[in-house]
Amino acid sequence: MFLRMIKGTLFRQWKKMIMIAFTIALGASLATAMLSVMLDVEDKVNQELKTYGANITVVPKESSVLNNLYEI
């Protein structure tokens, strides 16, 4: 009896079931893409900084503004 009720509910609301499945698949793919980007960015930044070597100077943005303002 219980299985018959569940089967009837699923077949009557098949559009909702398709929408739920699509939403879950979309959320899973979005989470996978964001995780992939998050894990890959650190490796790419490290690789770029290794190619520059010791020839790069990192200063805060505010420091460069003050240097331009006071011509230091």
Pick from 20, 26, 28, 25: nearest CA to 9: 20
Helices 14-52, 2-12: crossing angle, 10 deg rounding: 70
Provide the pLDDT for residue 33. Answer: 95
Phi first, then psi: give them for residue 41, nearest 5 degrees.
-65, -45
Q: Does residue 72 or residue 42 have the better pLDDT?
A: 42
Q: What would the pLDDT profile of 13-30 be if each residue is shown by its tens digit?
A: 888 889 989 999 999 999
Residue 31 Ramachandran class (φ > 0 left, ψ -120 to 50 alpha, else beta): alpha
Confidence (pLDDT) at 31: 96
Q: What is the tens place of the pLDDT at every residue in 38-70? A: 888 888 888 887 887 767 677 666 655 666 666
